[in-house]
Amino acid sequence: MPDTVNGPPPPGAAPPTEHVLIPWATSLSDACQQALTALDDARRFPTLHRLWGRLRPADRLEGDEYTLVPPHERVQAAAWGWPTDQPPWAALLARADGLSLGEQAWGLMTPCHWHLGHDHFTMLPPDELQLDAETSRALFDAVAPLFTDEGWALHWGAPLRWYAVHPVLADLPTASLDRVVGRNPDLWMAAHPQARLLRRLQAEVQMLLHQHPLNDEREARGLARINSFWLSGCGVARPINGPSPRSVDGPRQALLQGDVTGWLQAWDAIERDTLPGLAQALEAGRPVQLTLCGERHAVSLHPAPAPGWWARLQARWRPPHLRPSDLLASL
């Protein structure tokens, strides 16, 4: 999910909201759910708990774990005024890679490895593939004619970013890469009528890569073969109409690899590096927002209004505020 840089507000404008977005703040895995209570330790996470006492859940984005676009991407898309069911990430990334977009529809083709288990495939995290630019470019050049023969245009952007251009991509719903990593890709294949050609091309790419000598070299070096691709982020480029939240990617990177220990260490880094700035902004009276995302839902926390004397008196008999683990378990 790309970020953008925003300039200073115009004179007289309200100060911008300090918005921190945490993708994959939690996951539905049993191991992560059991580890959530570690975040309730105020000695280990003092800044988190200081903020927790001042912020209250205000906005909740509902969904489920089967939507094609995960909550953190929908939050970012909404902040930019984009459609949340099909954000055109590919065009944004292609522009950042120096490609000329025109009025065409783009799709992000991520070279990947589908690991065959006992009864189904599982997609490995692409960042683990150690795919260098030279090998990526050679594999790209090998598969490109399969697409150009069908009237598609392909562009190379980076080792893990290939791009497809075709009119059908303007409205082709595809699952985010975050939905597919660590899971069976077959479950996320598009059911759109136009996806039949895509599935055929994917099968042809798999056959071609299976016998490519560069994959034999990778296997000899102990690296996973590049044996497929995943298409995502389809659509025509859209302007960014809104501020960009500050996205903290550590928990996401850990959980996509199934690393709950790394996820908790990422929260330690958030406590150390991210939350103090949010707390300082809150103390200074500036608007702040903390958005936590799970696999199904996202919730945004905003400053609670200062309570009057009656509210303070009532608070003595109210049940305690939700602990961090309680809220995260609901996402």
Indicate whether 177 and 230 sit together in one domain: yes
pTM: 0.89
Tokens 């006492």 — which residue? 53
Task: Tell whether 274 is covered by a domain.
Answer: yes
Q: Looking at 203, 218, 236, which one is the last position of a domain?
A: 236
Confidence band, pLDDT 50/70/90 cuts, at residue 42: very high
Q: 239: burial class by Cβ within 10 Å (0-12, 13-18, 19+)? A: exposed
Indicate whether 159 and 210 sit together in one domain: yes
Task: Tell whether 5 is covered by a domain.
Answer: no
CA 52 to chain CA centroid, nearest Å: 24
Q: Looking at 190, 208, 236, which one is the last position of a domain?
A: 236
Phi, psi (degrees; rounded to nearest 5) at 228: -165, -170
Residue (of 134, 149, 123) closest to 204 by Cα position: 149
Higher pLDDT, 292 or 118: 292
The arithmetic mean of pLDDT across residues 234-262, rounded, is 95
Task: Tell whether 8 is covered by a domain.
Answer: no
Task: Tell whether 7 is covered by a domain.
Answer: no
The arithmetic mean of pLDDT across residues 199-224, rounded, is 94
Phi, psi (degrees; rounded to nearest 5) at 248: -110, 115
Indicate whether 186 and 289 sit together in one domain: no
Indicate whether 122 and 231 sit together in one domain: yes
Residue 196 belongs to domain with CATH number: 3.30.70
Q: Parallel, antiparallel, or unpaired: how do β-strands 298-303 and 288-293 relate?
A: antiparallel
Task: Tell whether 42 is covered by a domain.
Answer: yes
Residue 1: predicted pLDDT: 52
Task: Tell whether 107 is covered by a domain.
Answer: yes
| pLDDT single digits (tens) 158-196 | 999 999 999 999 989 999 999 999 998 888 887 777 778
Going 182 to 124 to 198 to 83, the CA torsion angle's sign is: positive
Write out the two tokens for 79. 């902040």
56 neighbors 304 (Cβ within 8 angstroms)? yes
Indicate whether 110 and 130 sit together in one domain: yes
Average pLDDT, the chain: 89
Task: Tell whether 222 is covered by a domain.
Answer: yes
Residue 263: predicted pLDDT: 98
29 neighbors 65 (Cβ within 8 angstroms)? no
Residue 303: predicted pLDDT: 92
| pLDDT single digits (tens) 63-105 | 999 999 999 999 999 999 999 999 999 999 999 999 999 899 9
Query: What does the alpha-carbon distance between residue 129 and residue 117 come to, in Å, rounded to a whole number?
Result: 18
Task: Tell whether 206 is covered by a domain.
Answer: yes
Indicate whether 165 and 207 sit together in one domain: yes
Residue 96: predicted pLDDT: 96
Number of domains in the chain: 2
Instruction: Show the domain range for 272.
Output: 18-76+242-329
Q: Looking at 236, 268, 291, which one is the last position of a domain?
A: 236
What letter represents residue 290's amino acid? L
pLDDT at 120 over 90: no
pLDDT at 5 over 50: no
Write out the two tokens for 34. 């059991």
Indicate whether 269 and 134 sit together in one domain: no
